[in-house]
Amino acid sequence: MGIHLPLPAGEDLFCDLPNGMRLCYRSHGPLSGQPLLLVVGLGLQLIYWSPQLIHELVNRGFRVIVFDNRDVGRSSRANMAPPSPWRLMLRQPDPRNYDLGDMAQDALGLLDHLGILRAHLVGMSMGGMIAQTLAARHPRRVASLTSIFSTTGSRRVGQPALSTMLKLMKAPPSGKAQAIARFIAMSQHIGPSTYEFDERDLQAYATRAWDRGHGETAHEGIGRQIAAIMKSGDRTPEVRQIKAPTLVIHGERDPMVHPSGGLATADAVPGAHYLTVRGMGHAIPEGVIPYLSDLIDGHAKRSLGWHPRALHGQVQAV
């Protein structure tokens, strides 16, 4: 493992994994900070994380690491055709498609690359599912888990609203302008109703994501990520194996992942704490960030057996 020096914010770095995937990531804050890995949701890139949130967490003593999941942004794309709409409708993904376990292994490989023995995990939506899987399968590598508007994979909970499903089932956008307009419309649909969105911020992200990602073929990677969720099925038995101190956060008005998904997650994880954020949907608005930062910080620092120096160094087999 190489020595990683502090880097200017916004610099894309790359990690080549043993499984052949290449992940793009960024590291914020000093190497002496407590490692905190942010895992983003379906189809989103590392630039989706609010700079304000990252700044708040760095100021609280964390080294914040963000990355593009496989099939989005500047990370590797899977070498297979995307699932057909028919397969997705029938919830019958191609057996060759990767699953959430493979994506969790990607995140673990990134920690290995950085020489991080244990990290705090914070995942949103699909990122929460990936973080749950990593925490269940590699308990010694996870100091704490914060799962935000996510679910267990059970079809009895956490299902999207019909209006959201209809939007998700639309044909892929025909170009950059339509992709940006679709992203803004979807964000306004699933996002918070009590907190205001700045449409300029949404447009700026969507524009950067198109240019930084795969543009007209980005929908293919999103399709494979959806298939990964479907292929993983009901993960409740595995979620019950999580040993890390766990905080589950959900918006009370979430049309993408119904709050029942968050409740089911908290019920499955022994000793988990559950919090509902009033007026929040399936997004993290700027107005919630100070509160969310306090929650993540307090939860991480209440985790037992911690000292920042114990979190870096040679990775041991687990």
d(CA 186, CA 168): 9
Residues in the chain: 318
Tell me whether residue 175 is exposed, middle or buried, using C-beta atoms within 10 angstroms of its C-beta: 0 to 12, 13 to 18, 19 or more. Answer: exposed
pLDDT: which is higher, 149 or 193:
149
Convert the pLDDT of each residue in 96-123 to its tens digit: 899 999 999 999 999 999 999 999 999 9
Q: Which CATH number fits domain 13-303: 3.40.50.620, 1.10.3720.10, 3.40.50.1820, 3.90.420.10?
A: 3.40.50.1820
Instruction: Compute the average pLDDT of residues 178-186.
Output: 95
Domain ranges of the chain: 13-303
Predicted TM-score of the model (pTM): 0.91
Give the neighbor-by-neighbor strand order of the sheet with 62-67.
Answer: 13-16, 22-28, 62-67, 34-39, 119-124, 142-148, 246-251, 273-277
Segment 76-89 shows an average pLDDT of 81
User: Which has more confidence, 63 or 313?
Assistant: 63
- Cβ-count burial of 189 within 10 angstroms (0-12 exposed, 13-18 middle, 19+ buried)? middle
Q: For residue range 12-26, list pLDDT tens digits in order.
A: 999 999 999 999 999
Q: Which pLDDT tens digit goes with each residue over 283-312?
A: 999 999 999 999 999 999 998 554 443 343
Residue entry with tokens 């509160």? 291
- Nearest C-alpha neighbor of 34 from the set 222, 312, 318: 312
Cβ-based neighbours of 273, under 8 Å, separated by 6 or more:
246, 247, 248, 266, 299
Higher pLDDT, 222 or 315: 222
Mean pLDDT (the chain, rounded): 90
Q: Could you give phi then psi for residue 308, rounded to 5 degrees?
A: -50, -35
Query: What is the per-residue pLDDT for 10?
Result: 62
Pick from 43-52, 58-67, 186-195: least confident: 186-195
Alpha carbon distance 248, 227 (integer Å): 24
Residues whose CB falls within 8 Å of the CB of residue 250, separated by 6 or more in sequence, listed in order: 148, 149, 257, 259, 261, 262, 263, 274, 275, 276, 277
Q: What is the pLDDT of residue 304?
A: 53
pLDDT in tens, 203-261: 999 999 999 988 888 989 999 999 999 999 999 999 999 999 999 999 999 999 999 99
Residue 68 scores a pLDDT above 90? yes
Per DSSP, what are the bridge partners of residue 124? 148
Strand 119-124, strand 34-39: pairing: parallel
pLDDT higher than threshold 50 for residue 157: yes
